Amino acid sequence: MNQKTLEWIGDENGHVEMIDQTRLPGEYLIIKIETPTDMWHAIKQLKVRGAPAIGVAAAYGICLGLKQVEDNTPLNDALKSIAETKDYLATSRPTAVNLFWALNRMHRICQDNFPDTKSLKNRLLAEANLIRQQDADMCRSIGKHGADIIQKNDNILTHCNAGGLATAEYGTALALMFSAHEQGKSFHVYVDETRPLLQGARLTAWELQQAGIKATLICDNMAGHLMSLGKVDRIITGADRIAANGDAANKIGTYSLAVLAKAHNIPFYIAAPSSTFDLSIPSGKEIPIEIRDPKEITSPWDNTIAPEGISAYNPAFDVTPHEYIRAIITETGIIQSPNQASVKNHLATSAT
């Protein structure tokens, strides 16, 4: 599976092309993103989604902001424009740490000495392209390190979408499955539909089908029943932010699965790149949780399914405590029984 979720087209005055994920699986549509405003709305409206992909999108968003700056613009004015674009894009979604990681990485480039604005543009585009390539490489490595977790004839449960569509390409949680499939292993995946926006039904099911991996779609509230029948061997999901102690925020409903997994003695795994760790946050209690429009629940895709005027609560994420997580698979290896010490040691070792 080599899904190019988004990529830059052209030189520093080019644009971004991405798959509009709100149109899948019914329509495979490539859209053009030409301004920071376009990118902000693409992130906010989930045209691009998944923590790693959001990070890549944010990096390219900085380059799109510089398109509006002439090459002969004084360097200080260009730097001011970059800072404004960075702050603007940061308001799109609060939970996925990769967004802020990528924006900060791009901003650090601006601290170097540049002779003029054009050279700054070239350098930032090169950095954004590097972020995208590194993300693709990290996902391949996650798959390589985690493929052995999947055993022959396993029944795996996954939630939301952590495949190629959630990254530059190849995925995080699904990377384990893609790698195991490429190794010739036979296994089966239960795909949670993932209410309210059905990322599992629309995206994960589509990706697994495209890859030729056996999959069965289930409603979110069927997972516990399957576990009670012994039909789930392991659960693998992605994450949008992981705290210093290993607590992990992922799509709403993930915590429920982790609790059920513990009750049924089923191993629960998370796959995520090192850029998803936020060591500035000691535990999951400090992770900001995005609250989205209640209409996503009451009238998804303009189809009214609830009484008019009823209130609805729509958090996009929940937090799974580290003690419910058997291991976290990263691009540099596996963190067994994650906690503050093991996370710190793994990230420090992999950085050397």
Per residue in 268-312, pLDDT (tens digit) is: 999 999 999 999 999 999 999 999 999 999 999 999 999 999 999
Number of domains in the chain: 2
Domain containing 101 — which CATH number?
A: 1.20.120.420
Let me know: does 223 contact 190? Beta carbons within 8 Å: yes
Residue 1: inside a domain: no
- Which of 112, 140, 168 is the last residue in one of the domains? 140
Domain containing 151 — which CATH number?
A: 3.40.50.10470
**pLDDT tens digits, 110-121:** 999 999 999 999
Instruction: Please say if the pLDDT value at position 351 is more than 80.
Output: no
Residue 103: inside a domain: yes
| Cα separation values, 67 from 31, 36, 41, Å | 18, 10, 18
Q: State the catalytic residues.
A: 240
Task: For residue 269, report the phi and psi dihedrals to the nearest 5 degrees.
Answer: -120, 150
Q: How far, in Å, CA of 302 to CA of 198, rounded?
A: 14
Place of tokens 């979408």: 161
- Which of 140, 170, 193 is the last residue in one of the domains? 140
Q: How far, in Å, CA of 11 to CA of 66, rounded?
A: 12
Q: Are both 206 and 323 inside the same structural domain?
A: yes
136 token code pair: 């693709």
Q: Are both 39 and 180 inside the same structural domain?
A: no
Task: Give the chain's mean pLDDT.
Answer: 96
215 token code pair: 């999959």
Residue 85: inside a domain: yes
| Dihedral class, residue 230 (left if φ above 0, else alpha if ψ from -120 to 50, else beta) | left
Q: Are both 286 and 306 inside the same structural domain?
A: yes
Q: Are both 183 and 309 inside the same structural domain?
A: yes
**Residue range of the domain that includes 117:** 6-140
Q: Are both 50 and 183 inside the same structural domain?
A: no
- Chain centroid offset of residue 223 CA: 22
Place of tokens 């398109």: 67
Confidence of residue 70 (pLDDT cuts 50, 70, 90): very high
Q: Are both 122 and 167 inside the same structural domain?
A: no
Query: Interhelix angle for 117-146 vs 97-109, to 10°?
Result: 140
Residue 303: inside a domain: yes
Structure confidence at residue 1 (pLDDT): 43
Q: Are both 214 and 127 inside the same structural domain?
A: no
82 token code pair: 């970059």
Q: Which residues pair with 15 in a beta bridge?
A: 9
- Which of 92, 107, 140 is the last residue in one of the domains? 140
Q: Are both 207 and 276 inside the same structural domain?
A: yes
DSSP assignment of 170-215: S-SHHHHHHHHHHTT---EEEEE--TTTTHIIIIIHHHHHHHT-EE
- The closest alpha carbon to 68, from 27, 47, 38, 99, belongs to 38
Q: Are both 76 and 134 inside the same structural domain?
A: yes
Q: Are both 117 and 170 inside the same structural domain?
A: no
Instruction: Please say if the pLDDT value at position 64 is more than 70.
Output: yes
Place of tokens 């990485």: 105
Residue 90: inside a domain: yes
Q: Are both 212 and 156 inside the same structural domain?
A: yes
Looking at residue 282, its amino acid is P
**pLDDT tens digits, 245-266:** 999 999 999 999 999 999 999 9
